[in-house]
Structure 1
Amino acid sequence: MELQKFKLIAHRGEHELAPENTITAFQLAVKQGATALETDVRLCADGEVVLFHDYTLSRHFKDRRKIAVCTLKELKSLSFSGQKYKYTDQIATLNELLESFKGTIPINIDIKTYLIPNKELCLKVIRAVERHNMINQVWVSSFNPVDLHFLKKAQPALRTGYLYNSLGMIHFFIDIFLKSDAWHPHYSQVSPGFFSLAERMGKEVYIWTVNKPAVLKKISKHKFNGIITDKFFRTRPLAEQK
């Protein structure tokens, strides 16, 4: 089982040593062997695109506010717990991420909208990617088919990935209209038939979130483009690096 046959996509970066979705977490992931990065984006109150997975701040801070009601200045003032992590950092913006990794490795941007489409967020992601001339380095994924349709219509050159975790056949039919470039299934949704269909349809395949050796062994019998993982990107221990 050769891990380097497909992309090792660091899910929110190296978030055991540093807070998830921070620039430090992504830098550490690359040092350890990640060959692509995955991040989540949301809009804050003043319209900045920030890297944050959750709807609210509560999982990381003693603060129950929604990301959408906080300004960037307020978010930047928050401090991740230094006791939990070896390294710490601030909440980052999409622009900071793109500036840090331009011309290096592929980046998967997951638009966190779920049931409610957000054209403003989609447009700002497109503009940021265009501004940094990174159309060929980035692909954007979402669970929301409306957002994916809008992204592809607004910028046909931007690669898109359809995320889903259940009801696979329904999503295959929806994707006829989306014309996404990639499928992003949860590992529980893949099968020999799925891989055959993806190949016939010319879809890239990125499977999430693959952390168990047994799951990796099972899917490695098939052809796919990458795994989104919290652990398998660690092929080069930091302790061995100068």
Structure 2
Amino acid sequence: MKLRLPKIISHRGAAGHAPENTLVGIRKAAELGATWVEFDVKLTSDGIPVLFHDDTLNRTTDGAGLVAEHTFAELQGLDAGGWYDTKFTGEKIPTLDNALATAAELGLGCNIEVKPSENREEETATVVAQKLTDKANTAGPPLLMSSLWRSVLEILQATLPAIPRGFVVREIPDDWHSVLDRSDCVSLHAGEWDLSKDKVAMVHEAGYKLFAFTVNRRRRAEKLFSWEVDGLFSDNPERIG
């Protein structure tokens, strides 16, 4: 399974320039010259995959409460842009379908990070996998799946074996190699603060790619690239590119 990714992937759309996990953010990433974007996906209460990072609505919308306790129709009544800047007021929470169509239109690859709400790991992975299976015969962007949840990766491996997978970790755990092997992953996505030259070499020696998140300072990017990390996730891809 081959994975060709750029050195820099625009994080949560283009979170340094537009509200995260929105269509305007994805469009901004393309405008900045990014060729790939990363975004987070979880389910509404009625099982619709939408782009959203937090478990709660409070930080990035004018709503409150758990995403998982709201229907898609209810979420569409919220403003997902005004919190960032008033010029984005009225921006909606997009569906996974919306995001993939926009990325395809712009020629962007997509790293879909499956980020389930509590106790919805299996359901979220299964719904996302089915959504992508249904689209298998239609033109769409190149994809990389990823998740912090090991059970999610195992389901994706079983249901979407042709789409590459990455294991997301804040800090590299002792059993990282067995997790990647068991889920047939191609990459490890680690918090940049936890990396060292030796850790990068360790991952490469095991035959995996290593991507670091979230890197917004050029000097740090240069250091990580000197250690030969394969790529970085950045809110400001133009700043470190």
Q: Which deviates more from structure 2 when the two are superposed, residues 111-120 or residues 21-30?
A: 111-120
Are the aligned partners of 1:18 and 1:86 in contact in 2 as well (CA < 8 Å)? no
Residue by residue over 1:114-155, the C-alpha shift from the partner in whole angstroms, topping out at 9 and shown as x without a partner, is 874622211221222233337871111111111111211222
SS at match of 1:150: helix
Distance in 2 separating the partners of 1:95 and 1:233: 27
User: Could you say which residue in structure 1 is the equivalent of 2:31?
Assistant: 31
Shift in Å, 1:48? 0.3
SS at match of 2:237: coil
Residue by residue over 1:26-53, the C-alpha shift from the partner in whole angstroms, topping out at 9 and shown as x without a partner, is 1011111112101001100111000000
User: Could you say which residue in structure 2 is the equivalent of 1:105?
Assistant: 108
User: Could you say which residue in structure 2 is the equivalent of 1:84?
Assistant: 85
How many pairs does the alignment contain?
232
User: Could you say which residue in structure 2 is the equivalent of 1:55?
Assistant: 55
User: Could you say which residue in structure 2 is the equivalent of 1:130?
Assistant: 133
Residue by residue over 1:186-206, the C-alpha shift from the partner in whole angstroms, topping out at 9 and shown as x without a partner, is 112222222223222221222
Shift in Å, 1:22? 0.6
Shift in Å, 1:177? 2.2
SS at match of 1:97: helix
Equivalent residue for 1:156, pick from 156, 161, 168 = 161
Residues 1:97 and 1:135: Cα distance change in structure 2 (over 3 Å): closer
User: Could you say which residue in structure 2 is the equivalent of 1:72?
Assistant: 72
Task: Report the RMSD for the aligned CA atoms in angstroms.
Answer: 2.5
User: Could you say which residue in structure 1 is the equivalent of 2:124?
Assistant: 121
Q: Which deviates more from structure 2 when the two are superposed, residues 20-29 or residues 213-222?
A: 213-222
SS at match of 1:205: strand
SS at match of 1:148: helix
Are the aligned partners of 1:161 and 1:181 in contact in 2 as well (CA < 8 Å)? yes
Are the aligned partners of 2:7 and 2:230 in contact in 1 as well (CA < 8 Å)? yes
Residues 1:215 and 1:234: Cα distance change in structure 2 (over 3 Å): closer
SS at match of 1:64: coil
Q: Which runs of 4+ in 1 moved over 6 A?
A: none
User: Could you say which residue in structure 2 is the equivalent of 1:240?
Assistant: none
SS at match of 2:167: strand
User: Could you say which residue in structure 2 is the equivalent of 1:168?
Assistant: 173
Gaps of 5+ in 1: 237-242
Q: Which deviates more from structure 2 when the two are superposed, residues 119-128 or residues 67-76?
A: 119-128
Distance in 1 separating the partners of 2:170 and 2:59: 23
Q: Which amino acid aligns with 1:229?
A: S
1:206 paired with 2:211, answer yes
Shift in Å, 1:235? 7.7
Distance in 1 separating the partners of 2:24 and 2:168: 26
SS at match of 2:226: coil
Q: Which amino acid aligns with 2:94?
A: A
Are the aligned partners of 2:190 and 2:212 in contact in 1 as well (CA < 8 Å)? yes
Residue by residue over 1:62-100, the C-alpha shift from the partner in whole angstroms, topping out at 9 and shown as x without a partner, is 432211111111111112327824334110000111111
Gaps of 5+ in 2: none
Sequence identity (%): 26
User: Could you say which residue in structure 2 is the equivalent of 1:182?
Assistant: 187
Q: Which deviates more from structure 2 when the two are superposed, residues 191-200 or residues 70-79?
A: 191-200
Q: Which amino acid aligns with 2:116?
A: T
